[in-house]
């Protein structure tokens, strides 16, 4: 495990706290692995009735650490039978059997926004913004978001988020069905915690079956793999290289010179 992800178990709730505030909670390989391992282990832990994801600092997460993007969504050298694409976090969330609650403060960028599509309850602080700037970075959707976001909010809104990269504020996130409620930032953790404890106190089999019936896990995991192939290709493409260079140099990318 890593100190960049804090883990607590109490009242039937597994709480995972992103703890890299000095880097805006940008997710690196160690954090992906720690989150994925904890979520997967909860499937077989009868003491865990619900998972709560929250973050220290002023931002939920800036998304994947761009310095960690070189290898793509996942290494192609995966053990036999393991997913080739998709981070350990995304693959674990897609197959999570326990309900997942998220408490989102500040910005949730990239995977910080798409991971919420795998959560069962989402509470957003009044300062929250969901941002999926994939096309801005020369990239394509991930975490099955091309399937899940489109189903949730429709093609036009999803396209706007993916391609224009327009931020979605807290009130809009609730209106579009991406979150359950807007909460004052000072009350966010208490509200999300209360919901997680309430979920953990329900009949576990009934809750697990309800969650399973509400989504097709095989469709979701298949889309994660399909998206991952395109994502990895874009990272290596001339478009992707230009977009990443522009991001690091803090300039607008010039795709006209990309052949």
Instruction: Decide which of 68 and 205 is more confident.
Output: 205
In a domain, 111, yes or no: yes
Angle at CA 101, nearest 5°, toward 95 and 103? 135
Q: What is the mean pLDDT of the chain?
A: 93
Share of the chain above pLDDT 70, in %: 93
Q: Range with the lowest mean pLDDT among 80-94, 148-162, 208-222?
A: 80-94
Assess if residue 242 is contained within a domain.
Answer: no
Residue at 226 is within a domain? no
Give CA–CA dist 25/98, Å, rounded. Answer: 24
Q: Which among 145, 143, 51 is positioned nearest to 101, based on CA atoms?
A: 51
Q: Say if 214 falls within a structural domain.
A: no
Average pLDDT estimate for 133-160: 96
Lowest-pLDDT range of 59-73, 98-112, 141-155, 229-243 = 59-73
CATH code (residue 179): 3.90.226.10
Whole-number pLDDT of residue 259: 67
| pLDDT tops 90 at residue 78 | no
In-domain check, residue 197: no
Q: How confident is the model at residue 1 (pLDDT cuts 50, 70, 90)?
A: low
Cα angle 75, 258, 74; round to 5: 10
| Count of structural domains, the chain | 1
Q: Is residue 181 part of a domain?
A: yes
Question: What's the pLDDT score for residue 66?
Answer: 80
Q: Does residue 90 belong to any structural domain of this protein?
A: yes
Query: Three-class SS of residue 141?
Result: coil
- Domain of 111? 5-186
The encoded tokens of residue 76 equal 């192609």
Dist. CA 259–CA 248, nearest whole Å: 21
Beta-strand pair 168-169/121-125: unpaired
pLDDT band at 72; cut points 50, 70, 90: very low
Residue 141 lies in a domain: yes
Determine the average pLDDT of the residues in 100-114. 98
What was the pLDDT predicted at 258?
83
Is the pLDDT at 77 greater than 50? The verdict is no
């Amino acid at each position: 495990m890593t100190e960049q992800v804090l883990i607590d178990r109490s009242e039937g709730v597994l709480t995972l706290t992103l703890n890299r505030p000095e880097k805006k909670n940008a997710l690196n390989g160690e954090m992906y692995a720690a989150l994925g391992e904890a979520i997967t282990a909860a499937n077989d832990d009868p003491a865990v009735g619900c998972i709560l994801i929250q973050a220290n600092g002023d931002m939920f997460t800036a998304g994947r650490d761009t310095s960690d993007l070189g290898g793509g969504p996942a290494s192609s050298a995966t053990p036999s039978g393991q997913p080739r694409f998709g981070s350990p976090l995304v693959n674990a969330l897609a197959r999570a059997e326990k309900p997942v609650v998220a408490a989102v403060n500040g910005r949730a960028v990239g995977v910080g926004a798409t991971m919420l599509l795998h959560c069962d309850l989402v509470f957003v602080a009044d300062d929250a913004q969901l941002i999926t700037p994939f096309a801005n970075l020369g990239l394509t959707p991930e975490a099955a978001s091309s399937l899940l976001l489109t189903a949730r909010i429709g093609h036009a809104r999803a396209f706007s988020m993916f391609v224009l990269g327009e931020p979605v504020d807290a009130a809009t996130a609730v209106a579009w069905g991406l979150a359950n409620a807007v909460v004052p930032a000072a009350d966010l953790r208490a509200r999300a915690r209360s919901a997680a404890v309430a979920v953990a106190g329900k009949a576990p089999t009934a809750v697990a079956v309800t969650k399973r019936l509400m989504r097709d896990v095989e469709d979701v995991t298949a889309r994660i793999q399909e998206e991952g192939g395109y994502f990895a290709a874009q990272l290596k493409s001339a478009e992707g290289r230009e977009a990443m260079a522009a991001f690091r140099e803090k300039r607008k990318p010039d795709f006209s010179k990309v052949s």
